[in-house]
Amino acid sequence: MIAANSPRAVSYTLSLLRQSRNLTSEQTLDLEFEKAVSLIASGEYFYGVAAFLEKREPEFPDFDPGVSD
């Protein structure tokens, strides 16, 4: 279920999919890299990995999709 994933990652993925229609492949990859770095810096990546390793459901920090990183 998509809703169970990192809210920031889901928001970024949807945004990237929408934006990529008007970008070149290289621009899309650059934007994807920026979003990946932002996700790692936000800590959500580590919440997800830790939950997986501990065999539990992840608890992601609050995220307001209306606020841009």
Domains and CATH numbers, the chain: 2-53 (1.10.12)
Residue 58: what pLDDT?
A: 85
Residue 60: what pLDDT?
A: 79
Residue 28: what pLDDT?
A: 95
How many CA within 13 A on the CB side of residue 3? 0
What whole-number distance in Å separates Cα of residue 49 and Cα of residue 30?
24
Secondary element (H or E) of residue 13? helix 7-20
Burial class (CB in 10 A: 0-12, 13-18, 19+), 40: exposed
What does the pLDDT look like over 11-66, one tens digit per residue? 899 999 999 999 999 999 999 999 999 988 888 888 888 989 999 988 877 766 56
Q: Shortest CA distance to 69 belongs to which of 12, 22, 10, 7?
A: 12
